Amino acid sequence: MVVDQVRSCQRQSSSKGSCSGRVSSSGRIRAASPWLRAAVFGGGMHLDVLFASQLVGIFSRLQRSRDLVWLDSAGSPAHAFNSWLLSHGWTRTAEWKWNHGDTGLRLDLTTAGDAGQRQHVVRDAWRAWCLRRHMASDRRDNQLDCFDGGGYFRRIDWNATRLFAASCSAARTLVCGATFSPAALGGRVATYPSTACIWDNCTELGTFDHVAWECVHRPRFVPKPAEFLSSRYGWVVTNQSVDIALVQSWLIEVQQSIWTAVYQ
């Protein structure tokens, strides 16, 4: 019974993730980071993490009737679960116990525990793994700072970030890392054959940081968040020193101004 459920999960997991398609509702999101998008939107539905969260739910329910037996032979549920965890940033410390390095999260299936809470732990660690995959990519924005020196990963407010993304197409573009600055476009757009900044009277290279946070000709001077995930993507981090709503409204203005300058 359990093995059948595991195999079913494995079949789902090995098929292409439901979040692998490109978002095209606005017609402008063409280069979103699949890993940023998965981290923000995929925790409850991405097939890769569904596999592990279903398994931890099965184990937690089993545990109510008997102690779990560690059988790490190929094809066993424990083996499948352990393999998945090890390939997603977890380290096994004992039978049915794992630690997650980036987040400090722990799983201990030797004692009774709430299945939902454990599934939440698995999803949260999986989001960190997604961000690590983004960092391992060759994208120009791969230098995330959320794990440095203790990091602020655990302070990311995923719900508030999803709400921001849902507010308009510019916000969703920002959240998924699909913003193209003039510098990133490299002057290859016929309507904007230049890499220069979009603001009037500025001829400097139009990198995202320049356009949003450094240009002396920008129309508004909003304080820049210390967290890269906020200054670049508008993600919400709890206990920030900046007014994130103000930052988000400014980033939307930047995104829309880039679209206006480059495509109209």
* Strand 106-108 with 97-100, pairing: antiparallel
Calculate helix-pair angle for 115-135, 47-63, nearest 10 degrees.
150
Q: How far is the CB of 255 from Zn ion (least distance, A)?
A: 16
Question: Which is closer to Zn ion, CB of 168 or CB of 184?
Answer: 184
Calculate helix-pair angle for 77-86, 2-14, nearest 10 degrees.
30
For residues 204-233, which are near Zn ion according to CB under 5 A?
A: 204, 215
Q: How far is the CB of 211 from Zn ion (least distance, A)?
A: 6
Q: How far is the CB of 253 from Zn ion (least distance, A)?
A: 14
For residues 69-108, which are near Zn ion according to CB under 5 A?
A: none
- Residue from 39, 144, 165, 197 touching Zn ion (CB under 5 A): that is 197
- Residue from 135, 202, 205, 242 touching Zn ion (CB under 5 A): that is 202
Q: How far is the CB of 81 from Zn ion (least distance, A)?
A: 51
Going across the sheet that includes 97-100, the strands are: 90-94, 97-100, 106-108
Question: Which is closer to Zn ion, CB of 68 or CB of 196?
Answer: 196
Q: How far is the CB of 143 from Zn ion (least distance, A)?
A: 22
Question: Which is closer to Zn ion, CB of 103 or CB of 207?
Answer: 207
x/- letters, 108..127, toward Zn ion (CB under 5 A):
--------------------
Question: Which is closer to Zn ion, CB of 135 or CB of 202?
Answer: 202
# binding residues, Zn ion (CB under 5 A): 5
Q: How far is the CB of 261 from Zn ion (least distance, A)?
A: 11
For residue 31, the Cα-to-chain-centroid distance in whole angstroms is 15
Residues contacting 19, CB < 8 A, separation 6+: 34, 37, 38, 41, 42, 45, 46
Question: Which is closer to Zn ion, CB of 98 or CB of 199?
Answer: 199
DSSP string, 190-241: TTB---B-SSTT--SB--HHIIIII-TT-S--PPPPSSHHHHHH---BTT-S
Which amino acid appears at position 165 of this protein?
Answer: A
C-alpha 117/C-alpha 81 separation (Å) is 17
Provide the binding-site residues for Zn ion, judged by CB under 5 A: 197, 199, 202, 204, 215
